[in-house]
Structure 1
């Protein structure tokens, strides 16, 4: 087993050498940096969580994750394929420009552009049409029962700002396209961008002209990417930061015993899993007789059976994870307990399956993982690589930052790769169906670089997208997820816990979607 590891840089040291912050400054240390400031250039929920402080959607989720008006006051279905939104008047962007329907039209046009990485967030929307300055219609290709769900993740940008800065076309973290919006920002949200130093520090200041009545008392947010678990915990204990995300599970008891800090742990919607590249003729990891072993479902089952998730949960996750057999978590619409069953851990059965598939001596493969995105991500991959070695699978493991990992995955340059999916922004089983299981084509399959393709799953995706009878829609999603489970399109591992820690003077809400919504927080 070979290991390539991208090590966290020394930029952290400079980031932590700060003067004492005021009581209204929230210092937030995260395991990694955001990918971009362009909300349409990525599909990474950690980045979206941060950008939600700067940019706002038409509809947002409240403290209980229910829908509430944001930049749109009301919405109604005018026709089955036309939804009208009445916009909030008197809202301004951070540069003082007024928010109008022209900004919604420009944002929808930019997001639905074929080069927008996040275009799948508005799958099924044909265009936006301005009715007047504060009324806009979204025209759909077909009725969409999840339109409002999707819109909670669609941030509105300023048309004039985009035009003035030659950024009307979207950036893309996968293809490397960078625009002015990649490292500058101008939203309507509760906080404004003051400065950004990638991999070191990003600073936001409170928007004094925000349209909403603030619950928070923050004047400033300092966002510090700190890859090292030990350094992140030390910074919290010493008072250099106020909140850490995530909090290492192995330090839970230490933090519980420490004065002035509290660990926060709750169930999460996010399922951690492995994607398997079935598109390539031969794997990157080495020659395997001119074939790709991962195309054989017996090989995929062998890999799954060779993973001792009980051991990983006990030793790596400290018993805090929920072992999964399905790609979606129990609270998500479309979840079915019958699908949430993993095969028994059985090394001998795994070896027999490999032999039956024509690989009695195993094969060579790459395994790509993050080291700054999920809880104990690199440790999980190291453990599984060792387990696979026990059935003759020679693993070359690369553990690297999310900024390098996800573009590599999107380009299909991997054999097996780690991914976490929390069904955002829809919080519905249609999210993995349309983005992870559907064949990559047009608006669908944006997060399916694997080459997985099943005609029935594609048919179900189209049907479920416009099925307004919720019972029928859920039944379709359940069928598709069962097909993917039977074919082992992905290897589910577990639902990771939400694990944060904060100083006791911080009033904070831990949301099940793992979004950080500081406009609900206070520093006392």
Structure 2
């Protein structure tokens, strides 16, 4: 309910009393201490939220101290995304360590939950259905509308079938409807369509660490290590044509890999150059590839708006400058491990910034040990600045650090930015659901007229 810094390395948090987990056990400081330790574990995907946290000290059931290596300007932001787990429940079900996502490990926590939120998990059948039911003991029930009693989430892979389900009334809410069907949905008097700029940017990553690419016909060296090759590829991809034809205007062509609402967003650098195939060919020739080269592109086909269609278009655009791209489009469950395990030469990735701060982008995507840095990029100065901005409390100094990193990443074309996404939701006209840039429906806010 409140927090304060006792000194530059100690934060005190006073926890809400009377909160229980879904199984009825009380929420205490011991659960917070356990969760922090678990989230910092080697298999955790959340450890980068807690880079400055060195430990915890339980004072009593509802008071805890977080110990840090120094001042942390984004600690409170980061903690919002470390969701507290029940220590007793995790111990009971052998889940005291986080799931090893890279090793495709499945623990009890993959299909079960025990939180403190407004809805409880009734059934979890991945790729089939997930059913949530109202938690009658939710501590914050008086604050929100909290009108929806039961949520049935049904994945429907076929776009036409998804739209038909909404039109027929089989479903009430459609997340990310197919863009080609938006006009039809908007004309239906029983359906409403809402949109908002999303906190997510789409880009392509290039393996710049390997001595030789796995899928290329170039042997003995890596074309992506050459900045001119990366520049050529960026110029060959026509982001404006993709915006117009594939995205139907529902994207913002980008020259950086973070969205405008993120703190430290470099507006002056986010000016995507127009496609220039001739200049791209010249750069490739200067780099020693006058006839281009061959490489495989890994792409998801069920994660981002029109992801596979975008990749198909990029294959054609790069082909025009001599780069033969072999497309491998797969489900996100097969695609993402290639990136986190650094087993992809060339890949599509989308990045949302949970903490809405540039440091989050750098920590995950541009540091040597960044969990999603499939490019293998590393630079001593970027490492130094990323670490420094995590403890710098002087706003002007921290802003300068962020700006320097963005300038380096953009000028050296470390990634190939494509666009910032736009969120579109379609729903039964009787449903009121406030939109947020993170594209996460909050059903506790929803109302049915």
TM-score (norm 2): 0.97
Is residue 364 of structure 2 the alignment partner of residue 435 of structure 1?
Answer: yes
Q: Mean Cα displacement is larger for which, 506-515 or 278-287? A: 278-287
Alpha carbons 1:285, 1:395 under 8 Å: kept: no
Cα distance between partner residues in 1 of 2:362 and 2:399? 11
* Cα RMSD (Å): 1.1
Look up the match of 1:352.
282
Aligned pairs for 1:49-68 (under 5 A) are: none
- Picking from 455, 476, 479, the partner of 2:404 is 479
Cα distance between partner residues in 2 of 1:173 and 1:243? 29
Look up the match of 1:196.
124
Is residue 423 of structure 2 the alignment partner of residue 493 of structure 1?
Answer: no
Summarize deviations over 1:304-341 as a string: whole Å, max 9, x none. 00011111111000012111111122222111222112
- Picking from 109, 126, 137, the partner of 2:65 is 137
Is residue 207 of structure 2 the alignment partner of residue 282 of structure 1?
Answer: no
Cα distance between partner residues in 2 of 1:494 and 1:362? 25
Summarize deviations over 1:63-99 as a string: whole Å, max 9, x none. xxxxxxxxxx001001111111100111111111110
SS in 1 for 2:199: coil
Look up the match of 2:31.
103
Alpha carbons 1:268, 1:495 under 8 Å: kept: yes
Alpha carbons 1:334, 1:475 under 8 Å: kept: no
Look up the match of 1:310.
240
Alpha carbons 2:237, 2:317 under 8 Å: kept: yes
SS in 1 for 2:343: coil
Summarize deviations over 1:349-398 as a string: whole Å, max 9, x none. 11111111111111111111111111111100000011111111111111
Cα distance between partner residues in 1 of 2:50 and 2:426? 34
Look up the match of 2:331.
401
Alpha carbons 2:43, 2:101 under 8 Å: kept: no
Is residue 311 of structure 2 the alignment partner of residue 386 of structure 1?
Answer: no
Would you say how many aligned residue pairs link Structure 1 and Structure 2? Answer: 447
1:287 CA drift (Å): 3.0
Look up the match of 2:149.
219
Cα distance between partner residues in 1 of 2:360 and 2:33? 24
Cα distance between partner residues in 2 of 1:231 and 1:473? 49
Cα distance between partner residues in 1 of 2:215 and 2:271? 29
Alpha carbons 1:409, 1:449 under 8 Å: kept: yes
- Picking from 169, 191, 198, the partner of 1:239 is 169
TM-score (norm 1): 0.84
Summarize deviations over 1:155-205 as a string: whole Å, max 9, x none. 000000011111101102222222211221111111001011111101010
Alpha carbons 2:198, 2:439 under 8 Å: kept: yes
Cα distance between partner residues in 2 of 1:413 and 1:523? 46
Cα distance between partner residues in 2 of 1:471 and 1:252? 44
Is residue 274 of structure 2 the alignment partner of residue 338 of structure 1?
Answer: no
SS in 2 for 1:203: strand
Alpha carbons 2:46, 2:82 under 8 Å: kept: no
1:514 CA drift (Å): 1.5
SS in 2 for 1:287: coil
Alpha carbons 2:240, 2:274 under 8 Å: kept: no
Summarize deviations over 1:441-478 as a string: whole Å, max 9, x none. xxxx1221211011111111011000111222122111
Look up the match of 2:113.
185
SS in 1 for 2:243: helix
Using CA pairs under 8 Å that are at least 6 residues apart, name the structure with larger relative contact order, 1 or 2: 1
- Picking from 328, 350, 362, the partner of 1:420 is 350
Look up the match of 1:171.
99
- Picking from 348, 368, 390, the partner of 1:465 is 390
Alpha carbons 2:344, 2:374 under 8 Å: kept: no
1:345 CA drift (Å): 0.9
Look up the match of 1:451.
376
Runs of 4+ in 1 over 3 A off after TM superposition: none
Alpha carbons 1:247, 1:501 under 8 Å: kept: yes
Alpha carbons 1:117, 1:174 under 8 Å: kept: no
Cα distance between partner residues in 2 of 1:476 and 1:286? 36
Q: Structure 1: state its 5+ residue gaps.
A: 1-72
Aligned pairs for 1:20-99 (under 5 A) are: 73-99=1-27
Look up the match of 1:161.
89
